[in-house]
Structure 1
Amino acid sequence: MSAVQSIYQRSYTVEEYFAFEEQSAIRHEYYHGEIFPLDGPDSPESPEAKSGATKGHNKLINNVVFGLRQQLGERECEVFSESVRLAVEAGQYYNYPDIVVSCDPSDDDPHTVHRPVFIVEVLSRSTEAHDRGWKAEQYRQLPSLQQYVLITQTRLLVENYTRFSHDTWTLTSYRQLTDVLPVPALGLALSLADIYKNLHIPPLRLADQ
């Protein structure tokens, strides 16, 4: 067994995980004692993750972050992207959303967001099923979360989950550049034209649906 393999086949306490992340050159997800690399050649999400994020993935994140920060202005909300950890289940499950927003002044851990109100994930071929399924279900258990958005990078499609009540969520899909994504969780809206700015994405065809 190689040194790298041994790292990922042992169990970690959450304190060991935090210490490991501080020394690591790449990000890791933590789930009930196990750690999983999210970047680099040891990532299980090959070949896409091994070769790094696509330019389109990066542009989409930057476009959304820019739109959020521009409209939030001086409001007491913080927007984080990719490199800030989220406590999905404190002490048990931690990951790194593409974009996470917290508006709670007490959410002041320097390394981890604990009370997110808004989360965005940009889908890739290797993570799409996971982001739509199991991860979305875990996110919806967060009591503070009001909205969860999935953005497809290969075609025009934004899927918006909004909390209707404690355990009820509504799903709305947007497929045209003229559509506007409402973000009631933050009291603003993002147009698909701005989300997909500088990306040449064809409209969603009937065969793609």
Structure 2
Amino acid sequence: MTASAPQSPHEYSFAEYLALERDSEIKHEFYAGEILEMAGGTTRHSALAMNVGFAIRGTRPEGCTVFQSDMRVRVTATGRAMYPDVSMVCGPIEHDPEDAAHTTITNPLLIVEVLSVTTEKDDRGDKWLHYQRIPSLQEYVLVGQQPRIEVFRRTPAGTWEYFEAEEGGVRLATGPTLDFSVLYADLPA
């Protein structure tokens, strides 16, 4: 999903954003006082994201909770709030203290974005720069529209290593397995 420019130069607080988002029929992201409208996804994108979520849920470690794209993630260090396609928290869920409704988490261990023509630049660029600032995040996974899985994994030194899944899929360090035959099964054209 991609974001469009805000409709007014008004700088919103996170509380104002949450109030507007609660009453909105469409999702928005938030950063630096701007409320950014999200574009809708394709049927293929939606089905692929669902397959990813099911695959992670079916192979996740005990004590981990998997969320789909309705769960907002906020990067405490930068204030940016986003809706990743899939996220996973292991252990207690930390909600953003500014969100009394508990619709925003701050401690994902794993984030997955399904790439599309309209989101790939942001998923690889600005979003990724923000996600790296989440202390709990151990893996960031990009899933292509065609069979391709890219993984960014935090090392013990705090740097990030990159690799692409081999033929067949990948077992993530955070526990779940992403199998090409499961992720790309029965997708619409």
Q: TM-score, normalised by structure 2?
A: 0.86
Of residues 182, 198, 202 in structure 1, which corresponds to 2:171? Answer: 182
- Using the TM superposition, give the Cα deviation of residue 29 of structure 1 relative to its aligned residue in structure 2, in angstroms: 0.7
Q: How far apart are the structure 2 equivalents of 1:90 and 1:27?
A: 22
Q: How far apart are the structure 1 equivalents of 2:78 and 2:151?
A: 28
Unaligned runs of 5+ in 1: 39-48, 202-209
* Matching of residues 55-94 of structure 1 within 5 Å: 55-72=43-60, 75-89=62-76, 92-94=79-81
Aligned length: 180
Native 8 Å contact 2:141 2:150 kept in 1: yes
- Using the TM superposition, give the Cα deviation of residue 137 of structure 1 relative to its aligned residue in structure 2, in angstroms: 1.7
- Using the TM superposition, give the Cα deviation of residue 200 of structure 1 relative to its aligned residue in structure 2, in angstroms: 7.4
Q: 1:91-142 deviations in whole A, cap 9, x for unaligned?
A: 7211111111111314256201110000000011011111112211211111
- Using the TM superposition, give the Cα deviation of residue 26 of structure 1 relative to its aligned residue in structure 2, in angstroms: 1.0
Identity of aligned residues (%): 36
Q: Which residue of 1 aligns with 2:22?
A: 22
Q: Which residue of 1 aligns with 2:137?
A: 145
Q: How far apart are the structure 2 equivalents of 1:163 and 1:195?
A: 24
Native 8 Å contact 1:120 1:151 kept in 2: yes
- Using the TM superposition, give the Cα deviation of residue 6 of structure 1 relative to its aligned residue in structure 2, in angstroms: 7.8
Q: Secondary structure at the match of 1:57?
A: helix
Native 8 Å contact 1:122 1:151 kept in 2: yes
Between structure 1 and structure 2, the one with the greater Rg is 1
Native 8 Å contact 1:8 1:36 kept in 2: no
Q: Which amino acid is the alignment partner of residue 62 of structure 1?
A: M
Q: Which residue of 2 aligns with 1:98?
A: 85
Q: TM-score, normalised by structure 1?
A: 0.78
Q: Secondary structure at the match of 2:20?
A: helix
Q: Which amino acid is the alignment partner of residue 141 of structure 2?
A: V
Native 8 Å contact 2:89 2:108 kept in 1: yes
Q: How far apart are the structure 2 equivalents of 1:79 and 1:6?
A: 30
Per chain length, whose mean CA-contact separation is higher, i.e. which structure has more relative contact order (CA < 8 Å, sep 6+)?
Answer: 2
Of residues 196, 199, 205 in structure 1, which corresponds to 2:184? Answer: 196
- Using the TM superposition, give the Cα deviation of residue 167 of structure 1 relative to its aligned residue in structure 2, in angstroms: 2.8
